[in-house]
Amino acid sequence: MAPASAADDRPTVGWTRKHLLGLRELSAAELLAILDTAKGFAEISTRSIRKVPTLRGRVVVNLFYESSTRTRLSFSLAAQRLSADVLDFQKDGSSTAKGETLVDTARNIEAMGVDVFVVRHGAPGAAAVLARHLQASVVNAGDGAHEHPTQALLDVYTIRERLGRIEGVHVAIVGDIGHSRVARSNIWALTKLGAKVTVVGPPTLVPARFRDLGVDVCHDLDRVLPEVDVLNMLRIQRERQSHLNFPSIEEYSRLFGMTSRRLERAKPGVVVMHPGPLNRGVEISPEVADGPCSVILDQVAAGLAVRMAVLFLVSTGAAREQQGGARDPEAAGGPAQAPRGGAA
Ligand code: CP
């Protein structure tokens, strides 16, 4: 969908929600609505004036209780490209140190007239809790090991741009699957859109129960390597492990790290992805990360368009609810008005 039409008062086909809390609950039509809207918004970044007035007068707050570079900055830039005002909350230096709870903090910020909360928190379900307590829209920017929906959306967007389709594409997600919100959100999005997914890593990081999500589980990267179209190399999340779940980083890297030599066994044209931040030399070598198969920086660029689309769509969902349209079952009522269109 082009921004010129995306930015007017009409509801986007396939989208009625006021929040984006995860991809598990979304239909394929809703996922496609986000991807198609993002495709339209991507064009804005190619213009000489890279801004539209779609969310002028709205306020977006980044409420980040965990560190972030890509997600926080691209949500900020996405909101600014849509002409929204942006507030940045980071836990360090905030009154959280004085004992203020997540909900109290958010309700106090909402009292300043905030329309959209973009939330990153270490607790699974934190965004959903806020959606129940706030009138504003809530977007999950990562909640513990539960979901990171906009990361998966930008991953799927990047695959579609590179390969021209999602249906039938075989994606291997390699690494610390058990601790990964990125893996979970990717699994929901890719399987709903008809991709084949194999999760790969040592048994201690890739539990067999993931088969229940409709994916293949493999503990031998070299066996699956020649079969896949996309390799999504995940970071070992030491911050979510009380101890290493494998003998050593060196052994993990030898068995599951993507090097130029290992990549020779992959299909021609294989696409190498990584959500960032990279552990160079652990899950991916510098040669592969910076090489011709890598789309890592394309993923970052896609994140801007995807996050513009998400901010726009949840605002239309809030407006729809306020106007008495179909209610988002997660919604608790919203103050937002429909966004206006045209060039800035
Ligand atoms: N991929 C990702 O979420 O990166 P940040 O932690 O830097 O936001």
Tens digit of each residue's pLDDT, the chain (344 residues)? 444 334 444 456 789 999 999 999 999 999 999 999 999 999 999 999 999 999 999 999 999 999 999 999 999 999 999 999 999 999 999 999 999 999 999 999 999 999 999 999 999 999 999 999 999 999 999 999 999 999 999 999 999 999 999 999 999 999 999 999 999 999 999 999 999 999 999 999 999 999 999 999 999 999 999 999 999 999 987 666 666 777 789 999 999 999 999 999 999 999 999 999 999 999 999 999 999 999 999 999 999 999 999 999 999 999 988 887 654 444 332 222 323 333 33
Q: Whose CA is nearest to atom 5 of ligand 1?
A: 68
On whether the CB atoms of residues 271 and 231 are closer than 8 A, the answer is yes
Per-residue confidence (pLDDT) for residue 324, from 0 to 100: 79
Q: Whose CA is nearest to atom 4 of ligand 1?
A: 70
CA distance 132 to 331: 7
Ligand 1 pocket by Cβ (under 6 Å): 68-71, 151, 275-277
C-alpha of residue 299 to centroid of ligand 1, in Å = 11
C-beta atoms surrounding 99 within 10 Å: 7
CA distance 341 to 338: 10
Ligand 1 atom having least distance to the Cα of 142 = 3
For the stretch 110-138, pLDDT in tens is 999 999 999 999 999 999 999 999 999 99
Phi-psi region of 40 (alpha: psi -120 to 50; beta: other; left: phi over 0): alpha
